[in-house]
Amino acid sequence: MLLKNFRTFIKFKPVLAVGFLFSASSLLFGIWVASIPSVKYRLGFSDASLGLSLLLSPIGAITGVLISTKIFSKIPVGKWMAWGYIATSCIMILQINSVNRLMFWACLYAFGLLSFLNGVSTNATVNIMEKKYNRLFMSTCHGLYSMGGAVSAGLAALFFSLQLVSGWHIVIVAVIIITVITCSRNYLLANEEIIHSGSGLKWPSLSILGISFMCMVSFMAEGCVADWSAIYFKEVMHSPKALISIGYAGFSIAMTIGRLNGDAIVTAIGNKKAVIGGALLAAIGFALVVLAPVIGMAVTGYIIIGFGCSCIVPVLFRTSGNIPGLSKVEGFAMVTTGGLIGFLAGPSIIGVLSEVMGLSKAFALLIIMALASATVAWKNRFITTKNITPPPVFDEQIY
């Protein structure tokens, strides 16, 4: 299924051009993560001061939420995609090679701002293309994001083995990204839609808040797995050092496989079943992690969490772009805001709870949150059961 789904996906060259932008985001972020230690040392940050500095990126993203309606009521989405990702690549070069803290802080803020606007533009465009071609693309595009993160980790390891400093890592990757965007610019610029009408933001209904809540839970789960899985294996499971990252590895692989197959899965079972089933799988996975007496059971739990979470966010983005009376920008802004809260606040909440009751019991909160997400999905009126019928296979020459 995976190869068939991906093979047919790459025949849609206009969609593939947008899909590459998803992987570009995670390529840049992955190189940045590998560069953090050298930036910290060069600019003389302590752990506390660096942690506070990194908050500038989510502050930039929140600014993006506030100005997104004005931006996308004036600039065609294709033009933003082409130039927004080039600008982000350049900002990341400056960020990793910052010569002082002021420059570094400015780049962090700008990166958060541009990343949010880039995410709105790409998700909105994929939503439009799904209607145009009568086929689902969202999950595969998010799968490309996951793949980009894995590739960036491999590239960073390769560059370090070649004795290249981190400042050159980002230059090489950014040049590749800008080159690909330049070569595919005609596909990107062909998206001339204005994706916001210019109307003001509305107070969201309970159903819309429910979609934001589900996105918050999914990102909270992802953030907690990323930040706490290694510590869980070390301190709770008493794993050998070589195995402390195996939980996150299993989660990431499952997430990538699930998302690359997600469009076919959602086409077959529908949006509502995909979200409800995914949330229930995540709850089962976290239960296995909490109750695991051995490492193998905990790893199995993380793999189940990855599969469970894989299709939820793509479905929520698709749903938020199709809410009657709400522009795509407003819908994506609400969903992304929920995700941002979950990704940032979730790991901190688990950390506080672990101080009181231990990390294993703190993870039980995620079981409750996942079950609540399944309940909200079941009652949400915007997450429909309607499927998109896959079109006949097209000749690649058409594209």
Closest CA to 120 of 92, 86, 85, 94: 85
Top pLDDT among 274 and 393 is at: 274
Instruction: Say if CB 105 and CB 94 are below 8 A apart.
Output: no
- Provide the token pair at 5: 């789904």
More confident residue, 75 or 133: 75
User: Within this chain, do residues 236 and 253 fall inside the same structural domain, yes or no?
Assistant: yes
pLDDT for the residue 357? 87
Output the six-digit token pair for 327.
């522009």
List the end-to-end C-alpha distance of the chain, in Å, as a whole number.
Answer: 23
Q: Which of 196, 210, 227 is nearest to 33 (CA)?
A: 227
For 288-320, b/e burial (b = at least 16 CB within 10 A) is bbbebeebeebbbbbbbbbbbbbbbbbbbbbbb
CA distance 325 to 207: 13
88-102, 104-118, 223-237, 290-304: segment of lowest average pLDDT: 223-237
Amino acid at 325: G
Per-residue confidence band for 398, with pLDDT thresholds at 50, 70 and 90: very low
In a domain, 293, yes or no: yes
Q: Is residue 399 part of a domain?
A: no
Share of the chain above pLDDT 90, in %: 37
**CA–CA gap between residue 151 and residue 156 (Å, rounded):** 9
Distance CA 251, CA 149 (A): 13
Asked whether residue 56 is domain-assigned, the answer is yes
Of 200, 230, 256, the one marking the end of a domain is 200
Mean pLDDT (the chain) is 85
247 and 343 assigned to the same domain:
yes
Final residue before a domain boundary, out of 185, 200, 215: 200
- The top-scoring range by mean pLDDT among 149-158, 172-181, 336-345 is 172-181
CATH code for position 78: 1.20.1250.20
What per-residue confidence (pLDDT) applies to 145?
A: 86
User: Both 167 and 225 in a single domain?
Assistant: no
3-state DSSP assignment of residue 235 = helix
What is the predicted pLDDT for the residue at 382?
86
Evaluate whether residue 357 is within a structural domain. Answer: yes
Reported confidence tier of residue 197, pLDDT bands at 50, 70, 90:
low
DSSP annotation of 191: -
Same domain, 67 and 25: yes
Mean pLDDT along residues 214-232 = 85
- pLDDT of 399 reads 29
pLDDT at 273 exceeding the cut of 90: yes
pLDDT in tens, 23-45: 999 889 888 877 888 888 899 98
Instruction: Please tell me the predicted confidence (pLDDT) of residue 84.
Output: 95
**Cα–Cα distance list, 192 to 119, 186, 189, 231 (Å):** 17, 11, 7, 47
How many alpha carbons lie under 13 Å from residue 72 in its C-beta half-sphere?
35
- Indicate whether 395 pLDDT > 50: no
In a domain, 210, yes or no: yes
Q: Is residue 397 part of a domain?
A: no
Does residue 66 sit within a domain?
yes
Q: How confident is the model at residue 309 (pLDDT cuts 50, 70, 90)?
A: very high
Does 177 have pLDDT greater than 90?
Answer: yes
242 shares its domain with 281: yes
Q: Are residues 102 and 5 in the same domain?
A: yes
Alpha carbon of residue 223 to chain centroid = 10
* Whether residue 276 sits in one domain with residue 223: yes
Same domain (yes/no): 207, 191: no
| Candidate from 2-11, 160-169, 340-349, 362-371 with smallest mean pLDDT | 2-11
Rounded CA gap, 229 and 235, in Å?
10
| Residues 107-151 pLDDT 10s | 999 998 999 899 889 988 998 888 888 888 888 888 888 888 778
**pLDDT score, position 152:** 82
**Amino acid 3: pLDDT:** 59
Alpha helix (H) residue ranges in the chain: 2-9, 13-43, 47-54, 56-71, 77-96, 101-133, 138-161, 166-183, 185-189, 206-231, 246-269, 271-291, 295-310, 312-320, 328-357, 359-362, 364-379
* Percentage of residues of the chain with pLDDT beyond 70: 92
In a domain, 393, yes or no: no
Q: 164 and 128 in one domain?
A: yes
- pLDDT at 300 (0 to 100): 95
- The count of structural domains within the chain is 2
pLDDT score of 285: 96
Number of Cβ atoms within 10 Å of the Cβ of 325: 8
Residue 5: predicted pLDDT: 66
Residues 281 and 340 in one domain: yes
Q: What is the pLDDT of residue 148?
A: 84
Which amino acid is residue 177, in one-letter code? I
Q: Which amino acid is at 328?
A: K
Do residues 187 and 226 both lie within one domain?
no
Q: What is the pLDDT of residues 339-364, one digit of tens each?
A: 877 876 787 788 888 888 888 888 89
**Mean of the pLDDT values across residues 300-309?**
94
The confidence score (pLDDT) of residue 284 equals: 97
Domain that holds residue 382: 202-387
User: Which stretch, 142-151, 206-215, 299-308, has highest mean pLDDT?
Assistant: 299-308
Query: What is the signed CA dihedral for 154, 157, 160, 164, rounded to 10 degrees?
Result: 0
Q: Which of 183, 377, 190 is nearest to 271 (CA)?
A: 377
Residue 240, pLDDT > 70, answer: yes
**154 & 207 share domain:** no
Last residue of a domain, one of 173, 200, 227: 200
330: amino acid identity, one letter? E
Element (H, E) at 205: none
Residue 183 to residue 303: CA distance in whole angstroms? 37
